[in-house]
Amino acid sequence: MVLKYQLFINGEWADSASGETYQRVNPANSNEVVGEFQKGNSEDAARAIDAAEDAFEMWSETPAPKRAAFLYKIAELLIEQKEKLARTMTVEMGKTLTDSWADVQEAIDVAYYAAAEGRRLLGHTTPSEKQDKFAMAVRLPIGVAGLISPWNFPIAIPARKIFYALVCGNTAVLKPASDTPLCATKFFELLLQAGIPKGVVNLVTGPGETAGMTIIKDPRVRVISFTGNKETGATILREAGIKRVNLELGGKNPIIVMDDADLNLAANGALWGGYETTGQRCTAASRVIVHEKVKDVFERLLLEQVKTLCIGNGLDPAVDVGPLVNKAAQEKASRYCEIGKSEGAKLLTGGKIPQTLNGWFFEPTLFTDCTRDMKIAKEEIFGPVVSLFSAKDLHSAIDIANSVEYGLSSSIYTSSIRNAFIAINKLQAGLTYVNSPPIGSEVHLPFGGVKHSGNTREDGPEGVAEFTELKTVYIDFSGKLQKAYLD
């Protein structure tokens, strides 16, 4: 029997106004239906915005430490439900169970960090140029937040967006990815259990072109937070109007391996960075740029490890690489591998759809002898496909790394502090790792990219900045008219 799930609007579970539903299947077994979900439409999204708007005054006037108390409750519930949520995630999205545990743990960590911000929400004070006058800036909530989350981190990213939005005093409408509505639904069950007042958080599942676009265009939604692909982000910027728009988009992330690097460590990092979550991370290390002096040795080390990766259902503890999220993603990976071969890249391993597995699997793939003008070198594949490049020195490696339109995450393996700092200064990316792969950002530090990778930093102290407005306040207690710049 297929379970049917509902929208969550104004504190109640409800069917879509359209009466339409859709089914989501297990990507590791396309014959297994995960659930039946509401195909929310524009009317549903408008109702959710109504509820969020009605709840805003009450919620924004609730003292921030009391808003934060709800987040502490949710953190405790996430801890209690960690195993169950992780298993749900693996069945719905496909990542390994270990990876799913980490996803839920990230949500727990964000809950504690964001909740602590309820005791801060720091503005700043500064001296006035006038006598007997006080000057400061304070942080205030923006209003209704429209949150649009991806499928690859179906608990962690909705949690991050919701927690920062709520602790700052905003109300929220979440439109999760259509591939992972069950994780969003289970997360909202915890929000309800924590006792968050009705209307403060609302959930609308369904297509982006109807429910999502209504949230984006509605003038009552004052801040949009979107994580997803570049093309959708560009559409949101065009359609949103004058409001805050926070975008975390794609990546084509490089690892630079210098001739003085620990090659075994670098190969381990490239394996983890390139194939964890089946390469379905915006920070995945899809490009590895190796100094020409050590390229052959490094290539052999990495190839040996890639060939050991086990493909299968993520619930199996022996599995390293689960399925891709859907058939379209599988076909995309296959198409890019054919393009890579046609452009002259050398296929070392993989590149095919396994015929013995009933799901959307794709072999871990490694290309070498790639050049910057190849499509597999420039475009985001979002699958288990890694390309190797050769560079004659650090500056040419950085030049290759910076040659794409993206700039999210980056990494360098080297034993030279000079090389490390040159890379830190010159790599065009929001994050740079030294002797570590470019995945695994920590929640108390800013996360986000440059160029076409986005315009936001939604973790750490910047998470508060993205969901608040700064108001400058002047208090003149001189008892006389003081004229700025004129007295």
Phi, psi at residue 10, to the nearest 5°? 55, 40
**Residue 20: both structure tokens together:** 């339409």
Cβ-count burial of 339 within 10 angstroms (0-12 exposed, 13-18 middle, 19+ buried)?
middle
Strands laid side by side in the 221-227 sheet: 12-14, 7-9, 201-203, 171-175, 144-148, 221-227, 244-248
Instruction: Please give the Cα distance from 32 to 46 (Å, whole number).
Output: 33
**Residue 63: both structure tokens together:** 């003292």
Instruction: Please give the Cα distance from 21 to 1 (Å, whole number).
Output: 16
Instruction: Please give the Cα distance from 90 to 94 (Å, whole number).
Output: 5
**Residue 248: both structure tokens together:** 């975390």
Partners of 386 in beta bridges:
366
157, 227 contact by CB (below 8 A):
yes
186, 88 contact by CB (below 8 A):
yes
155, 104 contact by CB (below 8 A):
yes
User: CB-based contacts of 117: which residues, under 8 Å, 6+ apart?
Assistant: 64, 68, 164, 167, 168, 461, 463, 464
Partners of 159 in beta bridges:
none
The residues that are catalytic are: 248, 282
Phi, psi at residue 368, to the nearest 5°? -135, 175
334, 362 contact by CB (below 8 A):
yes
Instruction: Please give the Cα distance from 487 to 481 (Å, whole number).
Output: 10
Instruction: Please give the Cα distance from 191 to 173 (Å, whole number).
Output: 13
400, 410 contact by CB (below 8 A):
no
Instruction: Please give the Cα distance from 326 to 360 (Å, whole number).
Output: 6
Round the CA-based radius of gyration of the chain to a whole number and report it: 24
